[in-house]
Structure 1
Amino acid sequence: MSGHVVVTGGRGTIGSAVCHQLHHAGTAVTSVDVVPVVTATPFEQVVGDVRDLDAMTTVLKAADAIVHCGGLASDRPGREYDTYDINVAGTCTLLLAAARAGVRRIVHLSSINALGCVGVGTPAYLPVDDDHPHTPISPYQLSKHLAEEACRQFAERHDATVVCLRPTYVIQQSAGAGPGAADLFAYVDLRDVVRAVKSALSADLTGFHTALLAADDLWGEHGSGPHTSLVSCANAQSLLGWTPRYRHTV
């Protein structure tokens, strides 16, 4: 898409990849992260915290859309408050800033964990799809669920478009480890996640939407061929025209 996109968590694995790909496609990009800027990039970098309402409002004044990658990516045993503070309060604060700045297109990097049916949970049925009931158990799962609910409320209250992408275990090209049985052996390549973000920014949509992202096979030696995934990406295909391109063999 053209225009100006603010990417939170822009120095993280997904955020950094999104920033570079959007810039390469000709989009004006501002990366926001709590990590100090130590390397030069061809796009703007801002040091900021998504929990700082005034700072986020200022950053978003020139934005046409937000890609929200900022947050903790897993549980922090003994530090559950951090998980809720950053993932839930941070998302709510960013949405308030978006309302102030008039930004009406947001792509939120959620997770299959918002459903609560992987890791410490058990699926109610297979393949898991975007309509699966939410039964979050761990603090991280609850934080992703609550952040999605905040996005739903924002979309409805402000007549905005919010797409919550729900990647499974994100794999980079050089990755060695992968998901296990508790994660349904479900994974998605980082490059496919970035493709989904770009599609969500430009798709002809209004309102609140969710989309699971997974490769069409199982991780490692557990798949017998294509289209064996235990996670359905029907929403991603119908809403975004997205299907996975990359598979990994171990």
Structure 2
Amino acid sequence: MATEATGSESSLTFHPMDQFMVTPLFGDGAVHWYTITNATLWMALAVLAIIALLVFGTRGRAIVPSKAQSVGELMYGFVYKMVEDISGKEGLKYFPYIMTLFSFIVFANMLGLVPMSFTPTTHIAVTGVLAMLVFVGVTVLGFVKNGAGFLHLFWITSAPLPLRPVLAVIELISYFVRPVSHSIRLAGNVMAGHAVIKVFAGFAAIALVSPVSVLAITAMYGLELLVAFVQAYVFTILTCVYLKDALHPHH
């Protein structure tokens, strides 16, 4: 009886965080910087999906667009308007980079919802690099465009003079925290949803609660589809805000 109980318990054992493990695509050796991993594969698939939609899907430029061309044009127009509204006409020079960011994040998030897939954007190693590229890029751009005037970003002229040095320190700290919050927000939200789905999937093995578990998984998948888009949108809109600060640093 004890053996049967143990076997029953082990069959219900599940590890929600195992899905985020980076493993070699070939073999079982250690993961090095040059190792082709499951993360490498799914990032490559995200890039191929972007090319399929935005290059091959729109190359016909038909007056009556196909479904792929319609989606590509909607995505293009959505990001273009976002950049123009937040960063201004001057920010449109950097639209290709921002469009690339949005496309990669949204496709990586969406592909991560395919069963047995891997979601690269659940890892700080991926989102951190994206956030640092934005941070370094807008900082360099700010100094190139404005010189020492970029430091006006930290000097709030509308505040009383005695408070300005204190606020400058706070602004400086918050500025350097940007890549941390930028990356953790994306990775944390995507990871949380995937972990919850995995937990519900584990309970599906219990006959008594399996109908509720299946309904919960279905609902979570619908929510995760929304989160996949919203998190790409949030990352992109924050990038536009940071770009605006670089172009127009005066408070």
Q: TM class, shorter-chain normalised?
A: under 0.3
Higher-helix-fraction structure: 2
Q: TM-score, normalised by structure 2?
A: 0.26
Higher-strand-fraction structure: 1
> Comparing both chains, which one has the higher relative contact order based on Cα–Cα distances under 8 Å and sequence gaps of 6 or more?
2
Q: TM-score, normalised by structure 1?
A: 0.26
